[in-house]
């Protein structure tokens, strides 16, 4: 029988060269049948369970696999696969970064559209069998949200709420209230404008862990869209790492090339890199193709 | 001043409805002789159909559309019946838009209680003459514009009397499109965010005059309730003819049109500055051989734009068979009255979105959060997805 603590115990034994009962581990394994714990180990486990409770140490065979959380698809199959959780996770913070015209906002709008379309029980959602259709919201810090482009991305404007916070101090309160308001997804556009003020950035970093903890109990995703700053500006003003630290998923987008049909631009190809994911290995990249044709749609790249 | 405005809402459509309503409540438009939309019913306007569109443009916006020819003779007959009914009282009557007229009550009464009974009598007479389908809505005030606004805001068969004290309060929330300004000026006001008469009235007058000229200054006075324009009796009135002398008798049409417009332009500019236009034009042509011919043209809406008058004159002279060289002509601008406001309800799409907000799932959320955060929550709607300017394709409205 293997216990979750056993690997650590084995490491100690191999380092010291002694078994728990004073004999070498090689000799002990010869004398005991496979799968049977030594009496010393069982005694230690018993002591731990008496002191800290029966769930402090459990057999590894009883642990379930880490399942994917409730999520919303990004609309790009390959990117969904790369995130490890099937898209943008609910109940967590997600961060999209990228330079201007890298396509981060378009991908974010696609996520909004998918969040609206996902009716009833979400993929990976186990808490409620029949979740009601919820709306989505955009916290438009730059006042540049374009409803026409949103509609072309497939977002239903009937189920979309715009919030325009007049003061930076008000932003975090609005995020908390909207996240608690039963929304499926909240998109915060224009993070650089918010963090330009040092005092606001400091407060933002301070309340992020609180937001992260609150979201863990809510079926709501908060998606921040951040602008990647050039290196020289990063050297002048070090950027706060609070959002990157608290984000369960961070995706960086870079525009690779424009797609042309004759002399017309019909879209662009971008590279999406999963910088950080709680459910998958980071650093993997995938190409995305976004095509404009009255509507904005994702094109599979294989 | 004591002015009664008598207004029959949707006069042309109501007349067309006498021939039979549109099948199954489908959108209806009336087409003029030139093949363009004269007026459209409310469902058609909701689809984006507007006056001046061709049938193809209207059908593109509303495929379900039913069109009918405008019966100009019937319209003129009913309009004349309305004017004669009002003129039977012996009071000065000024004709306005189709189914609309001013009556000067200054000689009879200047007090609100007396005016109330008199207006009720006039309304009953008009209803008796024209029938229930064409019963008017009445408005009374000391100025023409406020009286007209009151008539427009009241229901058919009702009247709204505005006392002098409540003029500003009454006018302030009304849409700025009630002003008879040209569409370009109204569009500028829309871009500037000036949407109510109260907002327009409080703008600095030098700025208004600089941007919109004398018509803008007059419009601002109207918005402030300072309308001192008298009622010009137009029923049974014969205006002064405008003499156009040609130096040398000619058969060149362009020369005649150019000379005529040279004589007409000051009169049209004067009408434009007063926010007025003429609905009919009559021209008598004297040819060198002693022959006389007459041209009579009725406009669907009051006109003061020289381009429109020039096009009409060229068209009518082209249709006429000239017996010889033209020596002189006399032109009369008939049925002079106020220009018609571009639209009577402002931004219907916003009103609709506000009305539909109660059906959206955000009402509870916004109602809960608005007291804490203020009016920061908005809804958006794409109004014209093909507009060349991207920022004009959508509108924002408060979420609650």
Residue A165's alpha-carbon distances to A97, A141, B285, B381, in angstroms, are 22, 7, 69, 20
- DSSP annotation of A269: E
- DSSP annotation of A100: T
What is the pLDDT averaged over residues B246-264?
Answer: 87
d(CA A295, CA A146): 14
Question: Residue A161: its chain B contacts at CB < 8 A?
Answer: 362, 365-366, 377-379, 399
Inter-chain contact A148–B366, Cβ cutoff 8 Å? no
Name which of A157, A161, A170 is nearest B377 (Cβ-Cβ): A161
In Å, how far is B398's CA from the nearest CA of chain A? 9
Domains plus CATH for chain B? 176-223 (no CATH), 242-338 (3.30.1490.100), 348-398 (no CATH)
Q: Where are the beta strands (DSSP E) in A131-248?
A: 136-140, 160-163, 185-189, 221-227
How many Cβ pairs within 8 Å bridge chains A and B? 71
How does pLDDT run across A148-201, given as a tens digit for each residue?
A: 999 988 888 888 999 987 788 888 889 999 998 888 899 999 888 888 888 888
Angle at which helix A168-180 crosses helix B363-373, to 10 degrees, equals 150
- Phi–psi pair at B98, nearest 5 degrees: -55, 125
Q: What is the pLDDT of residue A272?
A: 92
d(CA A79, CA A105): 15
What is the pLDDT averaged over residues B316-344?
Answer: 81
- Phi–psi pair at B396, nearest 5 degrees: -105, 145
Cβ of B400 under 8 Å from any chain A Cβ?
no
Name which of A135, A151, A162 is nearest B382 (Cβ-Cβ): A151
Name which of B372, B376, B394 is nearest A163 (Cβ-Cβ): B376
Q: Closest Cα to residue A269, out of A115, A111, A78?
A: A78
pLDDT of A224 strictly over 90: yes
How confident is the prediction for chain B on average, in pLDDT? 83
Q: What tokens were used for B138?
A: 């009445």
| DSSP per-residue letters across B130-177 | H-GGG--EEEEESSHHHHHHHHHHSPTT-EEE--GGGHHHHHTTSBGG
- DSSP annotation of B196: B
Question: Residue A162: its chain B contacts at CB < 8 A?
Answer: 377-380, 396, 399
pLDDT of B376 strictly over 60: yes
What is the pLDDT averaged over residues A244-273?
Answer: 88
How does pLDDT run across A48-95, given as a tens digit for each residue?
A: 888 888 878 877 776 655 667 888 988 888 888 889 888 999 999 999
Instruction: Report helix, strand or coil for B114.
Output: helix
Write down the H helix ranges in A184-269.
191-194, 198-215, 231-236, 242-246
Residue B279's alpha-carbon distances to A152, B140, B299, B332, in angstroms, are 46, 24, 5, 11
Residue A127: count other Cβ atoms within 10 Å of its Cβ.
11
Q: Which residues contact B338 (CB under 8 A, 6 or more apart)?
A: B96, B97, B144, B148, B180, B275, B276, B277, B302
Q: Which residues contact A79 (CB under 8 A, 6 or more apart)?
A: A87, A107, A251, A272, A274, A286, A288
pLDDT of A294 strictly over 80: no
Q: Closest Cα to residue B105, out of B147, B159, B136?
A: B147
Residue of A148, A157, A165, A179 to mutate, testing the B interface (most B Cβ within 10 Å of its Cβ): A148
Inter-chain contact A177–B393, Cβ cutoff 8 Å? no
Q: What's the half-sphere exposure (Cβ side, CA atoms, 13 Å) at B104?
A: 17
d(CA A196, CA B92): 69
In Å, how far is B382's CA from the nearest CA of chain A? 6
Q: How confident is the model at residue B232 (pLDDT cuts 50, 70, 90)?
A: confident
Question: Residue B379: its chain A contacts at CB < 8 A?
Answer: 157, 160-162
d(CA A184, CA A198): 30
Question: Residue B381: its chain A contacts at CB < 8 A?
Answer: 147, 157
Q: Is the four-CA dihedral A213, A216, A220, A223 of positive or negative sign?
A: positive
Residue of A163, A175, A180 to mutate, testing the B interface (most B Cβ within 10 Å of its Cβ): A163
What is the pLDDT averaged over residues B263-289?
Answer: 87
Cβ of B247 under 8 Å from any chain A Cβ?
no
In Å, how far is B61's CA from the nearest CA of chain A? 18
Could you tell me which residue, A276 or B133, shows the higher pLDDT?
A276
Instruction: Report helix, strand or coil for B380.
Output: strand
Could you tell me which residue, A127 or B149, shows the higher pLDDT?
B149
Residue B383: count other Cβ atoms within 10 Å of its Cβ.
17
Domains plus CATH for chain A? 6-62 (no CATH), 71-299 (3.40.50.300)
Inter-chain contact A148–B399, Cβ cutoff 8 Å? no
Question: Residue A165: its chain B contacts at CB < 8 A?
Answer: 373, 376
The B159-161 sheet, strands edge to edge: B93-95, B100-104, B3-7, B137-141, B159-161
Cβ of B396 under 8 Å from any chain A Cβ?
yes
Residues of chain B numbered 375-394 and touching chain A (CB < 8 Å):
376-382, 385, 390, 393-394
Question: Residue A158: its chain B contacts at CB < 8 A?
Answer: 360
pLDDT of B306 strictly over 60: yes
Q: How confident is the model at residue A128 (pLDDT cuts 50, 70, 90)?
A: very low
Interface pTM (ipTM) of the complex?
A: 0.74
Q: How confident is the model at residue A125 (pLDDT cuts 50, 70, 90)?
A: very low
Could you tell me which residue, B42 or A31, shows the higher pLDDT?
B42
Q: How confident is the model at residue B398 (pLDDT cuts 50, 70, 90)?
A: confident
- What is the maximal distance between C-alpha atoms in chain A? 80
Q: Are residues A149 and A80 in contact, defined by beta-carbon separation less than 8 angstroms?
A: no
Alpha-carbon torsion angle B81, B83, B84, B90, nearest 10: 160
In Å, how far is A79's CA from the nearest CA of chain B? 30
Burial class (CB in 10 A: 0-12, 13-18, 19+), B220: buried
In Å, how far is A163's CA from the nearest CA of chain B? 5
In Å, how far is A4's CA from the nearest CA of chain B? 46
How does pLDDT run across B212-228, given as a tens digit for each residue?
A: 888 888 999 999 888 88
Inter-chain contact A147–B373, Cβ cutoff 8 Å? no
Q: What is the pLDDT of residue B24?
A: 65
In Å, how far is B389's CA from the nearest CA of chain A? 11
């Amino acid at each position: 029988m293997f216990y979750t603590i056993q690997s650590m115990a084995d490491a100690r034994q191999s380092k010291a060269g002694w078994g728990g009962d004073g004999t070498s581990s090689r000799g002990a394994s010869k004398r005991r049948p496979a799968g049977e714990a030594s009496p010393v180990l069982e005694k230690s486990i018993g002591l731990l369970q008496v002191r800290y409770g029966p769930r402090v140490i459990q057999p590894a065979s009883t642990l379930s696999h880490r399942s994917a959380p409730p999520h919303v698809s990004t609309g790009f199959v390959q990117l969904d696969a790369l995130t490890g959780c099937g898209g943008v996770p609910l109940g967590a913070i997600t961060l999209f970064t990228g330079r201007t015209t890298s396509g981060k906002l378009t991908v974010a709008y696609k996520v909004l559209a998918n969040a609206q379309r996902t009716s009833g029980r979400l993929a990976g959602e186990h808490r409620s069998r029949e979740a009601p259709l919820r709306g989505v919201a955009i916290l438009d810090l730059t006042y540049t949200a374009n409803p026409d482009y949103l509609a072309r991305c497939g977002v239903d404007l009937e189920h979309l709420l715009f919030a325009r916070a007049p003061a930076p101090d008000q932003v975090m309160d609005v995020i908390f209230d909207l996240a608690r308001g039963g929304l499926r997804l909240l998109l915060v556009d224009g993070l650089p404008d918010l963090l330009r003020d040092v005092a606001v950035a400091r407060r933002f970093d301070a309340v992020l862990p609180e937001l992260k903890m609150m979201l863990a109990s809510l079926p709501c995703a908060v998606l921040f869209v951040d602008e990647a700053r050039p290196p020289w500006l990063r050297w002048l003003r070090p950027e706060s790492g609070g959002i990157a630290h608290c984000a369960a998923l961070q995706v960086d987008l870079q525009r690779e090339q424009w797609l042309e049909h004759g002399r017309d631009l019909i879209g662009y190809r971008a590279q999406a890199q999963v910088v950080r994911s709680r459910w998958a290995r980071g650093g993997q990249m995938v190409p995305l193709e976004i095509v404009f044709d009255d509507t904005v749609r994702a094109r599979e790249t294989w | 001043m004591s002015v009664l405005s008598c207004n029959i809402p949707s006069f042309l459509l109501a007349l067309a409805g006498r021939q039979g309503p549109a099948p199954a409540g489908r959108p209806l438009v009336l087409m003029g002789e030139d093949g363009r939309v004269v007026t459209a019913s409310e469902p058609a306007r909701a689809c984006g159909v507007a006056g001046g569109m061709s049938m193809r443009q209207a059908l593109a916006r509303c495929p379900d559309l039913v069109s009918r020819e405008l019966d100009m003779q019937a319209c003129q007959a009913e309009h004349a019946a309305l004017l004669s009914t009002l003129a039977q009282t012996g009071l000065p009557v000024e004709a306005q838009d189709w189914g609309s007229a001013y009556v000067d009550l200054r000689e009879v009464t200047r007090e609100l209680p007396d005016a109330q009974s008199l207006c009720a009598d006039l309304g009953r007479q008009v209803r008796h003459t024209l029938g229930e389908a064409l019963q008017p809505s009445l408005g009374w005030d000391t100025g023409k514009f406020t009286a007209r606004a009151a008539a427009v805001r009241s229901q058919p068969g009702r009247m709204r009397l505005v006392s002098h004290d409540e003029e500003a309060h009454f006018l302030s929330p009304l849409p700025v499109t009630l002003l008879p300004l040209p569409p370009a000026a109204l569009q500028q006001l829309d871009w500037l965010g000036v949407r109510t008469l109260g907002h327009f009235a409080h703008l600095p007058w030098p700025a208004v005059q600089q941007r919109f000229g004398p018509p803008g200054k007059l419009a601002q006075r109207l918005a402030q309730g300072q309308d001192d324009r008298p009622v010009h009796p137009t029923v049974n009135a014969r205006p002064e003819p405008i003499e156009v002398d040609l130096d040398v008798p000619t058969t060149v049409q362009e020369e005649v049109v150019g000379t005529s417009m040279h004589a007409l332009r000051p009169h049209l500019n004067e009408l434009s500055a007063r926010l007025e236009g003429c609905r009919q034009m009559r021209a008598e042509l004297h040819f060198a051989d002693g022959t006389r011919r007459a041209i009579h043209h009725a406009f669907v809406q009051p006109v003061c734009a020289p381009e429109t008058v020039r096009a009409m004159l060229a068209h009518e002279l082209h249709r006429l068979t000239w017996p010889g060289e033209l020596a002189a002509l006399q032109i009369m601008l008939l049925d002079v009255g106020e220009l018609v406001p571009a639209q009577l309800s402002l931004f219907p799409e916003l009103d609709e979105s506000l009305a539909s907000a109660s059906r959206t799932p955000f009402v509870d959320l916004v109602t809960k959060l608005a007291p804490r955060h203020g009016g920061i929550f908005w809804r958006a709607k794409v109004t014209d997805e093909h507009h060349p300017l991207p920022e004009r394709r959508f509108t924002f409205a408060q979420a609650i």
